Chains A and B, each alone.
Chain A
Amino acid sequence: MKTGRHRLMPAKNNTLVGENIYGIIKDNAVMMDKNKLRTADIFSGGLIFFIGTYIVSQALQMPMKDSWGGVQNVWYVSPAIFPLFIGAMIMLLGGLLVRTAVKEVGIIAVKKVGTYLVSSDFLEFLKQANNIRFYAIVTALLSFVFIWVSRTDFFLAAILFLIVSISMFHLDDSRLLVKLFFVYLAGILTFILFLVSGLNAFLSDHTAYPGDWLTLVFILLFAGYALGVCRGNSPLMKKLRTSFIVAFLSPILIGMIFKYLLLVPMPFEGMVVELMDFIWYY
Chain B
Amino acid sequence: MIVLFERIGSFFEIVFSLASDPLTLAILFGSVVLGIIFGAMPGLTSTLGVALLTALTYSMDTPIAMVCLLAIYVGGTYGGSYASILINIPGTAAAAATAMDGYPLACRGEGGRAIGLTTTASAIGTAVSMLFVVSISPIISTFALQFTSFEFFLLAFFGILISGTLTSPDLVIKGWIAGFLGLFLACIGRDQLQFFPRFTYGIPELESGIEVVPVLIGAFGIPQIIGVLKDKFQIKKTQRLQRIIPEIGTVLKNIPAIVRSALIGVGIGAVPGIGEDIAGWVSYGTAKNTSKHPETFGKGELQGVIASETANNACVGGAMIPLLNLGIPGSPPAAMLLGALMLHGVTPGPMITFEHPTFILEVAAILLLASAAMWIAGMVLAKQVVKVLKIPTQIFMPVIGMLCIIGSYSLGLNIFNLYLMLPVGIICYFLTEMGYPIAPLVIGVILGPMADENIRRALMVSQGSFMPVFTRPVSFILFLIIVWTIASQLPWYKRKMARIKHVLTAKK
Contact = CB atoms under 8 A, between A and B. Distances in A.
Does A pair with B? yes
Interface of A: 3, 5-6, 8-9, 13-14, 16-26, 28, 30-32, 37, 40-41, 44, 48, 51, 55, 58-59, 62-63, 68-69, 71, 73-79, 81-83, 85-87, 89-90, 93-94, 96-97, 100, 129-131, 133-134, 136-138, 140-142, 144-146, 149-150, 154, 158, 161-162, 165-166, 169-170, 172, 242-243, 246, 250-251, 254-255, 257-258, 262-265, 267
Interface stretch (B132-140, B217-225, B374-382): B217-225
A267 B415 contact: yes
A152 B177 CA distance: 39
A23 B399 contact: no
B199 interface: yes
The 4 closest A-B pairs by CB, nearest first: A18-B169, A76-B459, A165-B398, A169-B394
7 contacts: A6-B99, A16-B278, A20-B169, A22-B223, A86-B180, A90-B180, A100-B173
B437 to A, nearest CB: 6
B426 A138 contact: yes
Given A3-B100, A21-B432, A145-B422, A63 B196 contact: yes
Contact of B413 (A82, A130, A137, A265): A265
B231 A130 contact: yes
B99 A25 contact: yes
Contact of A77 (B226, B439, B459): B459
Interface of B: 42-45, 56, 58-59, 80, 88-93, 96, 99-100, 165-174, 176-177, 180-181, 183-184, 187, 191, 193-196, 198-199, 222-233, 275, 277-278, 281-282, 298, 392, 394-395, 397-399, 401-403, 405-406, 409-410, 413, 415, 418-419, 422, 426, 432-439, 451-452, 455-456, 459-460, 463-464
A249 B307 CA distance: 41
Contacts of A131: 230
A71 B397 CA distance: 52
A76 B464 CA distance: 6
Contacts of A6: 96, 99-100
B165 to A, nearest CB: 7
Given A137-B229, A250-B399, A69 B194 contact: yes
Given A138-B226, A145-B418, A68 B196 contact: yes
A125 B39 CA distance: 34
A23 B180 contact: no
B184 A254 contact: no
A158 to B, nearest CB: 5
The interface centre, meaning the residue of A58, A81, A97, A264 with most chain B CB atoms within 10 A of its CB, is: A264
Contacts of B198: 58-59, 62, 79, 83
B277 A20 contact: yes
B460 A14 contact: no
A106 to B, nearest CB: 17
B189 to A, nearest CB: 11
